[in-house]
Structure 1
Amino acid sequence: MRRGKVELLELLRSHGARPQVTDIDRFLCACRLADSAEMRNLGPDLAGQLDEKDYVVLVEAAAEGRTESVRLMLDAGFPIETRGDDGGTALHVASYAGSASTVQFLLERGADLESRDTTWDSTPIDWVKVGSGHHPDHCPDSDWVATARILIEAGASLAELNLGPDSEKPASGEVDELLRSYGVS
């Protein structure tokens, strides 16, 4: 339910499962699905009952390029610097996924452009470089070049990026070319 997989929940119920679904589960599902009417119906006080593990829904939505969901969660009071499984913020994972619209929105809302994840000590510009090479498929309209350009134009530091042959996680050819045009070697 927290991941917005309502159809899976219904399938389980049709086979006899009796999952315990709380109002917080319903609220997080509404957040994930950008269902503002359901969020209002459940009540604004639920946002105040959330804890750190609940806020991870923000990072998961950003990883999928769900900009409207991210907007609703930030409006509901979710902390913009919430961290996910790899210690990355919503800006990190949206960058990795190549979600230009989510990255732009998060920057407009004040996300820290130079925030470092807690696993690799990397910034969002490094995550877009790596994501462009990996091509994750969880964001339907990925555009790593546009995402990298947004981060660069917002002032992302390029000093620590490595595009050389010894780079463990190379960028895609297009992102590599863009970064080189800004002087990265």
Structure 2
Amino acid sequence: MAELPEPALQALIGAALRGRAPQVETLLAMHPGAASRNVHAAAVLLDAEGLALLLEAGPDSAQRAGPGGATPLALVGASRMEDDQRAAAAAKVLLSAGADPNDGRALFAALEGERTSLLDALIAGGGDPTSSDNPRRVSLLHWAVDLCWKPGPVRRLLEGGANPDARWGPLDETLLHVAVRRRRLDGVRMLVEFGATVDAPTKGGDTAWRHALRRPFPEVAEFLASQGASTQLRPADELAVALLQVDLGRAAHVADAHPDLVASLNVEEARLLGDLAGQGKLAAVEFLLDRGADIEARGLDGGTPLEQCGWFAQPDVARLLIARGADIHASGCDHESTPLGWAVHGSRYSGGADGNQAAYLELVDLLLDAGATVDLPGDPPNVPGQRLYRDATETIRARLRERAFPDGVPL
């Protein structure tokens, strides 16, 4: 039978990845037997029988990249032709032919789609949920607890023997540290239930309880203390608690007793400045800056204090940071953005964004007045500002059209 034409294959894959069943049916009627003619079509359609026949004729195709660089197993994981059992069956065929379950796509897609049968098949076929040796450079479990919280699949992985103390990243965080950082009390409870070490330290010596104390997430700190976590405070913790309460007298007492404390905070402790900035604690931010805090210290999602102001709609603190020399072009955060990008993205997606449009508008004006540019990393070279404009709310778009795109908006 003739090979499936490339345009038809791309259309079929696109429809299946979006779960558009009527469009898939139309394409299959136009191209009968598609799943028996192409391994990538069979994969995205979750056709285990078709895959078996194709792999029998060409076993090496189990790892062959298709449109967009996706392997057949990655397409099984990403397919939105919702049938967990069929997906698991298709995955087993590919795994038996040598497909790599640690390709950085299949496991992640299975967890995101909460397809536990597929997840089980991938783990049984050699998938490692605690390894970061994949193209994403992050373990499945850390990613799930950090960015894609799905309690059911995470519990399934832990029940299957995944290590609750698995570590990852430059800070050597355990899963418990990540769950605390994201204020996932249900995740913290689950990890403790499966034996996570409550006092495990990060590279900088932080425990999960200290993480919770300095955010501050009191309900998380209280739970960890009830589970036996050490509640001993270090000077850096005492300073953080005082500043989070904007108790400048107490903060000064701690800082005076330890003159080098602020300037010598480690990477985890130094994010205090960004946390305070995001919470709008102007006096506390000024206190740290006056005592030598790093104005570019990175915190949440790798963002600078100015970027935290952008996300959390804090124009007054942003004004102070800009006056003190904060980098308005800072990039390198987890989201490949800038302070202006964080503000625009926050105007649409942050919690309570609808009620903060005036503050976001003020931030956009502040940053543009200071010389911020509209192009972000990842913009097409000939369309600067495209990401920024697409992210913006209508209120922010109107201001961008007026100030940044006088010759027309980027399409």
TM-score between both structures, scaled by the size of structure 1? 0.83
- Structure 2 Cα separation of the partners of residues 66 and 29 of structure 1: 13
List aligned pairs for 1:73-112, cutoff 5 A: 73-112=288-327
List aligned pairs for 1:57-68, cutoff 5 A: 57-68=272-283
State the AA in 2 paired with 1:118. Answer: C
In structure 2, runs of 5+ residues without a counterpart are 1-212, 376-383
**Cα gap change, 1:177 to 1:151, in 2 (>3 Å):** same
- Are 1:20 and 2:232 counterparts? yes
- Structure 2 Cα separation of the partners of residues 76 and 5 of structure 1: 26
- Structure 1 Cα separation of the partners of residues 346 and 339 of structure 2: 10
Residue aligning to 1:177: 398
Deviates most, 102-111 or 68-77 = 68-77
State the secondary structure of the residue aligned to 2:386. Answer: coil
- Structure 2 Cα separation of the partners of residues 116 and 181 of structure 1: 25
State the AA in 1 paired with 2:234. Answer: T
Shift of residue 164, structure 1, vs aligned partner = 8.6
- Are 1:161 and 2:373 counterparts? no
State the secondary structure of the residue aligned to 1:41. Answer: helix
TM-score between both structures, scaled by the size of structure 2? 0.40
**Cα gap change, 1:141 to 1:35, in 2 (>3 Å):** farther
Deviates most, 66-75 or 173-182 = 66-75
In structure 1, runs of 5+ residues without a counterpart are none
Task: Indicate conservation of the 8 Å contact 2:328/2:339, yes or no.
Answer: yes
- Are 1:146 and 2:362 counterparts? yes
What are the Cα deviations for residues 92-132 of structure 1, in whole angstroms up to 9, with x where unaligned? 11012121101111100100011113323211111111000
Q: What is the total number of aligned residue pairs between the two structures?
A: 181
Shift of residue 5, structure 1, vs aligned partner = 5.5
What are the Cα deviations for residues 57-85 of structure 1, in whole angstroms up to 9, with x where unaligned? 11111122222221111112110010113
State the AA in 2 paired with 1:174. Answer: T
**Cα gap change, 1:123 to 1:15, in 2 (>3 Å):** closer
State the secondary structure of the residue aligned to 1:117. Answer: coil
Residue aligning to 1:39: 251
Task: Indicate conservation of the 8 Å contact 2:344/2:388, yes or no.
Answer: no
- Structure 2 Cα separation of the partners of residues 16 and 120 of structure 1: 36
Shift of residue 155, structure 1, vs aligned partner = 1.1
**Cα gap change, 1:86 to 1:9, in 2 (>3 Å):** closer
**Cα gap change, 1:93 to 1:57, in 2 (>3 Å):** same
State the AA in 1 paired with 2:386. Answer: N
**Cα gap change, 1:14 to 1:87, in 2 (>3 Å):** closer
**Cα gap change, 1:19 to 1:40, in 2 (>3 Å):** same
- Are 1:30 and 2:229 counterparts? no
**Cα gap change, 1:108 to 1:3, in 2 (>3 Å):** same
Q: After the TM superposition, which parts of structure 1 deviate over 4 Å for at least 4 consecutive aligned residues?
A: 4-18
Residue aligning to 2:215: 3
**Larger fraction in helix:** 2
Deviates most, 37-46 or 70-79 = 37-46
- Structure 2 Cα separation of the partners of residues 131 and 36 of structure 1: 30
Task: Indicate conservation of the 8 Å contact 1:34/1:72, yes or no.
Answer: no
Query: CA RMSD, aligned part only?
Result: 2.8
State the AA in 2 paired with 1:98. Answer: A
Shift of residue 18, structure 1, vs aligned partner = 5.7
- Structure 2 Cα separation of the partners of residues 158 and 40 of structure 1: 40
Shift of residue 149, structure 1, vs aligned partner = 0.6
Deviates most, 84-93 or 106-115 = 84-93
What are the Cα deviations for residues 153-181 of structure 1, in whole angstroms up to 9, with x where unaligned? 1111124322698x3xx211111111111
